[in-house]
Structure 1
Amino acid sequence: MGAQSLAVACGVLALCLALTGATNPGFVVRITQAGLDYAHQQGITVLEKELAQLKLPDISGDFRIRHVGKVRYEISRLDLRSFHLPYSRISLVPNAGLQVSISNAFAEVDGNWRVKIHFIRDHGSFDLEVENIYIKINLKLGSDASGKPTIDTSDCSTRISKVRVHFSGKFGWLYNLFHSAIESRFRKILENKVCENVVSSVRSDLQPYLRTLPVTARIDAMAGIDYSLVAPPTTTAQSLDVDLKGEFFSLAHRSAVPFPPLALAFPPDHDRMVYFGASSYFFNTAGFAYHGAGALVFEITDSLIPKGIDFHLNTSTFSAFIPQLEKMYPDMLMKLRLSASSAPFLNIGPGGLSLKPVVDIQAYAILPNSSLAPLFLLSLVSSGTACGGDCARLDQGFPLPLPDRIQLSNILVRFHQNFLLLGADVHYQPRG
């Protein structure tokens, strides 16, 4: 084989490995524009409070005024009285991330001034109004090695178009001659400080909050759910999608699932803030995990049969079907042990859910010394179908991958081919 042919073969092999290595999610979270708008409102409230606490440095310098000479000024004890963000929006940037645009923001600053012009010295206070502040923030979404989501600021720019400073003092007319120099310096300082604060806020507030999204969720003493990201979040013009592993696993011994997740075709629903897609793979890994843990075993005795029902679990009752039972074990209580010979398999379609478990029923006679005598073994293949109403509270049946202090409301459930769609609106509950 020539060098060129070898290179082509290696390229084809690499492509095949890349394709086979792609992993379909078992669980998908979709955040719509409505959901992002709600999250944006919460975030802007926090950012507004943090910007109002900006620490501004003192400003000093020299300035030369025609016919007056050199002016030495100092601006100190800058106090940012308020910072308002009245107009802002969050936008989805396809295949890039999110963009937050803030317009017509304004701030108010108080401070002290001191000036020296030749033999003239004076000091006093001033107030400064900053108007028409425009801020643009680009957010990049990703995932780390543990499968948790990450967020960072990929770009930030601030532009201030109007700064007005008002000095108090005996020589106000003179101070106004050099206000443009102070306004220019203050504009540059505030523009830099705003973006520094945004970057810091994303890393210190937003990123840690996103990390409260559970990568694993414990169900009970036997099983948990793996909610780690299988790929970085993706953005389209309509939504933000997060692909999760969505796999139940045994806490005692985690083994590879012998079947792969299938691709999910999400519908273009956008009436709710967030949608969850739980695939048949997600539910079937639950059966696989619990079966492997030996949890799918149930025992039935006569004491479990409700009183008032004219049926008793004993050899006398079953002798009508197997006459020799009463002869061999006369009037003895029985025990039925139900177990799944294999993990139950769930199918999801537009009509609902269908379950086809294979159940082994082992019957025992309970001997006088409480030991068990095996009687017979039945293997049953049963099927059942559940409609939408039977699953309208599935959000309480297993923990959903939600960050801290998020509550769901206005819940809907829809069945689609190969997955269950759960839609909801969200409400953030701040700490009391």
Structure 2
Amino acid sequence: MGIQSVAVACGALTLCLALTTATNPGFVVRITQAGLDYAQEQAIASLEKKLAQLKLPDISGDSRVLRVGKVHYELSRLRLRDFHLPYSRITPISNKGLQVSISNAFAELDGDWRVKFLFVRDHGSFDLRVENIYIKVLLRLGSDTTGKPTISTPDCSAHISKVRVLFSGKLGWLYNLFHSVIERRLRKILEDKVCDKVAMSVYNELQTYIRTLPVTASIDDKIGIDYSLVAPPRATPKSLDADLKGEFYSLAHRSPVPFSPLPLAFPSDHERMVYFGASSYFFNTAGIAYHEAGALVFEITEAMIPKDVEFKLNTSVFSAFIPQLEEKYPNMPMKFRASTPTAPFLTVGEGGISFQPIVDVQAYAILPNSRLAPLFLLSLTGNVSAVINVRSGRIVGSLDVGRIRLSLKDSAVGTFQVRMMQSLINILTSSTLLPRLNARLDEGFPLPLLDRIQLSNILVRFHQNFLLLGADVRFQPRG
């Protein structure tokens, strides 16, 4: 092989690898067999009602009967009284989708008959029982260009092994002489109609319902979450997994995230119906989005300090540590503006979520004309841990701050020992800044849930690089 051929082969290999490399998700949803079984129960109950509404066509034809001759028959006003699907099973099929198997189903119908042979005409009614109905449906899951899930039925088969017709009326005996012909026709009609109804239900109802999965969700007027699928949902022998982008972004301006999500070593837990894996990428894009949107800027004034905290935010209090304040700005109210110079970067590990944010705190004196006079700029850092939970379909949390370390970055009032005001900064942080952050975190972020799904029996576990949330689900019907 020549050098040129080797280069071409290497180029082709590189292209193939680039095309087959999947984007790691920032958020994973896993539906276990228990969750699939519950979804199947809800779907089968709906399908039963749909199949009971099947409209069957009139049937007519001619049949030869021994010692009678040619008989013309008509069956009309076929009415399904009920359709029962007592046994069903949903199974994930790797690389294909979900297979729904229904066995021992049965249905009951009635209708009117009319017969004509020679010069004889008569009519009556009949009852029909269809037994041992077997239905097998393959559901193929995919995603569209917007990242919303799609579902289709590439394969459906229905087989009816037993049809029993009982005719009443003066000439009912005549129908019973050629019932096998009628039963074959009814069997074929029903088998076709059942698969038609299944395909229609999947397209009109199931497809519509799964598209209630929110591709994007607005948290407030500044931040949104992208939950679009990065690949079609994939079936495994024990679950159905969906890989989502899992990325926060600024509504005003969405810029590329400067890092990529790491692979998630998702555990094989199957105790709950559904699991959510929120990666460190997911949480860190929240920090970037809020920072870029200017949402991590907080102002602290004396009015914000709780009344039970004996603390006045003015130059007289701080002049105990900075004597120059009393000379330049005697007994003036103060304001602090806290901001993050860079987006906070957190770590998710088996011990929980932790990070060491850097916060700049600029102090101002509020002059009599309401203008602000810069005083000093402090840099604050410390160990912060997060407590995470799920409430009403939202990830909620709260922060706990350890000992805060101070350093002086700039001063318009001369140098001073910042360690002397450690206790005052601790009070300001714990009484004003931290409660505001926790109030926001208590509002939470929405999980990617289908419409009318409620979570219960919540499980929260931390793993390397991601948070695992488990839950059982309940579907809440309308009304």
Q: What range describes the TM-score normalised by the shorter chain of this pair?
A: over 0.9
Match of 1:11 in 2: 12
Q: How far apart are 1:392 and its partner, in Å?
A: 5.5
Superposed counterparts of 1:231-250, under 5 Å: 231-250=231-250
Match of 1:194 in 2: 194
> What is the CA deviation profile of residues 309-346 of structure 1, one whole-angstrom value per residue up to 9, with x for unaligned ones?
33222222222322222222122221111100000111
Superposed counterparts of 1:36-47, under 5 Å: 36-47=36-47
Q: Distance in 2 between matches of 1:54 and 1:309?
A: 72
Q: How far apart are 1:67 and its partner, in Å?
A: 3.0
- Which residue of 463, 466, 470 maps to 1:419? 466
Which AA in structure 1 matches 2:19? A
Match of 1:271 in 2: 271
Match of 2:448 in 1: 401
Q: Distance in 2 between matches of 1:225 and 1:308?
A: 38
Which AA in structure 2 matches 1:285? T
Match of 1:128 in 2: 128
Which AA in structure 2 matches 1:258? P
Secondary structure (helix, strand or coil) at the match of 1:402 reads coil
Match of 2:413 in 1: none
Q: Is the 8 A contact 2:124 2:172 kept in 1?
A: no
Which AA in structure 2 matches 1:11? A
Is 1:229 the counterpart of 2:220? The answer is no
Q: Distance in 1 between matches of 2:367 and 2:68?
A: 116
Secondary structure (helix, strand or coil) at the match of 2:365 reads strand
Which AA in structure 2 matches 1:103? S
Q: Distance in 2 between matches of 1:308 and 1:59?
A: 86
Which AA in structure 1 matches 2:379? S
Of 154-163 and 391-400, more deviation after overlay is shown by 391-400
Superposed counterparts of 1:98-113, under 5 Å: 98-113=98-113
Identity %: 70
Superposed counterparts of 1:124-273, under 5 Å: 124-273=124-273
What's the Cα RMSD here?
1.5
Q: How far apart are 1:262 and its partner, in Å?
A: 1.0
Q: Is the 8 A contact 2:217 2:226 kept in 1?
A: yes
Q: How far apart are 1:153 and its partner, in Å?
A: 0.6
Q: How far apart are 1:411 and its partner, in Å?
A: 1.0
Q: Distance in 2 between matches of 1:301 and 1:125?
A: 86
Q: How far apart are 1:66 and its partner, in Å?
A: 3.0
Gaps of 5+ in 2: 397-443
Match of 2:321 in 1: 321
Q: Distance in 1 between matches of 2:77 and 2:249?
A: 59
Q: Distance in 2 between matches of 1:125 and 1:140?
A: 42
Which AA in structure 2 matches 1:416? H
Match of 2:299 in 1: 299
Secondary structure (helix, strand or coil) at the match of 2:446 reads coil
Which AA in structure 1 matches 2:18? L
Q: Distance in 1 between matches of 2:297 and 2:156?
A: 58
Q: How far apart are 1:22 and its partner, in Å?
A: 2.4
Match of 2:70 in 1: 70
Q: How far apart are 1:3 and its partner, in Å?
A: 5.3
Q: Distance in 1 between matches of 2:307 and 2:364?
A: 22
Which AA in structure 2 matches 1:295? A
Q: Distance in 1 between matches of 2:62 and 2:8?
A: 67
> What is the CA deviation profile of residues 262-291 of structure 1, one whole-angstrom value per residue up to 9, with x for unaligned ones?
111111111111111111111111110110
Normalising by structure 2, report the TM-score.
0.87
> What is the CA deviation profile of residues 49-89 of structure 1, one whole-angstrom value per residue up to 9, with x for unaligned ones?
00000000011111112333211111111111111111111
Secondary structure (helix, strand or coil) at the match of 2:38 reads helix
Of 327-336 and 191-200, more deviation after overlay is shown by 327-336
Q: Distance in 1 between matches of 2:153 and 2:308?
A: 68
Which AA in structure 1 matches 2:128? L
Of 316-325 and 145-154, more deviation after overlay is shown by 316-325
Match of 1:80 in 2: 80
Which AA in structure 2 matches 1:134? Y
Normalising by structure 1, report the TM-score.
0.96
Of 377-386 and 88-97, more deviation after overlay is shown by 377-386
Superposed counterparts of 1:241-390, under 5 Å: 241-387=241-387
Of 136-145 and 317-326, more deviation after overlay is shown by 317-326
Match of 2:432 in 1: none
Q: How far apart are 1:96 and its partner, in Å?
A: 1.1
Q: Is the 8 A contact 2:167 2:173 kept in 1?
A: no
> What is the CA deviation profile of residues 211-269 of structure 1, one whole-angstrom value per residue up to 9, with x for unaligned ones?
11111101001001011000000110111000101111111111111111111111111
> What is the CA deviation profile of residues 88-124 of structure 1, one whole-angstrom value per residue up to 9, with x for unaligned ones?
1111111211011111111111111111222222211
Of 179-188 and 4-13, more deviation after overlay is shown by 4-13
Secondary structure (helix, strand or coil) at the match of 1:369 reads coil
Secondary structure (helix, strand or coil) at the match of 1:176 reads helix
Q: Distance in 1 between matches of 2:446 and 2:124?
A: 61
Secondary structure (helix, strand or coil) at the match of 1:36 reads helix
> What is the CA deviation profile of residues 335-391 of structure 1, one whole-angstrom value per residue up to 9, with x for unaligned ones?
11110000011111111110221111111111111111111111222221235xx54
Q: Distance in 1 between matches of 2:262 and 2:109?
A: 58
Which AA in structure 2 matches 1:106? F
Structure 1 residues 318 and 43: alpha-carbon distance in aligned structure 2, compared to 1, 3 A threshold: same
Secondary structure (helix, strand or coil) at the match of 2:177 reads coil
